[in-house]
């Protein structure tokens, strides 16, 4: 499966983009590229580069559903799996399934709030699933990093690049990752109310997955254009309707806060909220085992005073390690 901005040739349900190799230290893109490898002629290398430079255009559906997820709905993939909420592009499990080049490109999005939910197969200590989430809109230049120019309101996030290794797709790993994503949003981004995703329209399995399993409906359509391994964009004028996250007007522009297309009756109707109210399910209160990795970005040395208070761990304190009660007159 893959929901994402980074192009995946077979769409949402593909598993051949990053092939898991149990005996290797990392996953590699599926197939040998024409411009690499021993014995490849100079002419074949040139042909491969020309082929990669050709733009690939795909019709895509932008889908959406409300947040938070119903906290009572818990799915557990079983004791052989644990899950990680990763804010750190240097995480060792993340590096197993992403190339160094891609992680270097995505350091900026990580610094601005990107997060990855990883599924780990405990017996082999291998990452076998991933789900990327952006919590802020991409900035100018992020197209070369593989991020489409979606524009989000402050209560929206974007889910992309959902992938589970083909050997584990009948273990409820993908749906468990989705619920752990919901728990991570509940804990770290509780103000979010909508999650977007996308898939290629010609992939019927992908569309059915999001419609029937994830409960997402189509809110907009675009044509994605890709150059090479990562650079992506949107064909000008291909967005329709002209209200949505890929248009000038949408919830992000303040021209309305509706989310068109929600089924209110018939086969697609469903209830997204518990009838008795809302409960939060944080990463410490899940059926699955969840670890948070957030050791990469820090406030910087200038944040600390010359005479800085010390926390209980003996290190310079932060608001989390040394809270105090405010005494008002």
**Which pLDDT score is estimated for 78?**
87
CATH architecture, domain defined by 1-16+57-262: 3-Layer(aba) Sandwich (3.40)
Instruction: Output phi, psi for 304, to 5 deg.
Output: -90, 140
**Which pLDDT score is estimated for 99?**
94
**Which pLDDT score is estimated for 76?**
80
**Distance of alpha carbon 189 from alpha carbon 255, whole angstroms:** 24
**Which pLDDT score is estimated for 28?**
34
**Which pLDDT score is estimated for 20?**
33
Give the residues of the chain that fall short of pLDDT 50. 1-37
**Which pLDDT score is estimated for 27?**
39
* Bond prior to 190 in cis (omega within 30° of 0): no
For 258-294, b/e burial (b = at least 16 CB within 10 A) is ebeeeeeeeeeeeeeeeeeeeeebebeebebebebbe
Q: What is the pLDDT of residues 116-163, one digit of tens each?
A: 999 999 999 999 999 999 999 999 999 999 999 999 999 999 999 889
**Which pLDDT score is estimated for 23?**
32
**Which pLDDT score is estimated for 33?**
36
Q: Where are the domains of the chain?
A: 1-16+57-262
**Distance of alpha carbon 12 from alpha carbon 128, whole angstroms:** 16
DSSP 148: -
What pTM was computed for the model? 0.81
């Amino acid at each position: 499966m893959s929901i994402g901005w980074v192009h995946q040739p077979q769409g949402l349900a593909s598993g051949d983009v990053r092939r898991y190799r149990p005996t290797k230290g990392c996953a590699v893109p599926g197939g040998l590229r024409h411009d690499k490898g021993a014995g490849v002629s100079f002419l074949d290398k040139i042909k491969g580069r020309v082929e990669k430079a050709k733009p690939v255009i795909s019709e895509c559906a932008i889908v959406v559903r409300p947040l938070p997820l119903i906290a009572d709905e818990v799915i557990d993939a079983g004791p052989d799996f644990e899950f990680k909420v990763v804010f750190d592009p240097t995480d060792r499990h993340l590096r197993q399934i992403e190339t160094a080049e891609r992680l270097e490109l995505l350091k900026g999005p990580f610094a601005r709030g990107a997060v990855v939910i990883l599924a780990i197969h405990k017996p082999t200590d291998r990452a076998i699933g991933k789900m990327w989430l952006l919590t802020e809109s991409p900035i100018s230049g992020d197209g070369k990093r593989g991020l489409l120019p979606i524009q989000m309101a402050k209560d929206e996030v974007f889910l992309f690049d959902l992938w589970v290794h083909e050997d584990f797709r009948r273990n409820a790993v993908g749906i468990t990752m989705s619920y752990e994503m919901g728990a991570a949003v509940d804990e770290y981004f509780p103000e979010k109310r909508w999650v977007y995703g996308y898939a290629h329209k010609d992939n019927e399995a992908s569309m059915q997955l999001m419609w029937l399993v994830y409960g997402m409906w189509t809110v907009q359509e675009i044509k994605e254009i890709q150059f090479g391994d990562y650079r992506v964009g949107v064909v000008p004028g291909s967005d329709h309707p002209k209200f949505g996250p890929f248009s000038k007007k949408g919830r992000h522009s303040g021209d309305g806060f509706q989310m068109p297309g929600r089924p209110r009756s018939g086969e697609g109707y469903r209830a997204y909220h518990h009838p008795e109210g809302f409960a939060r399910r944080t990463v410490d209160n899940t059926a699955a085992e969840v670890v948070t990795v957030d050791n990469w970005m820090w406030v910087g040395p200038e944040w600390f005073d010359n005479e800085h208070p010390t926390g209980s761990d003996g290190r310079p304190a932060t608001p989390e390690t040394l809270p105090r009660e405010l005494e008002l007159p």
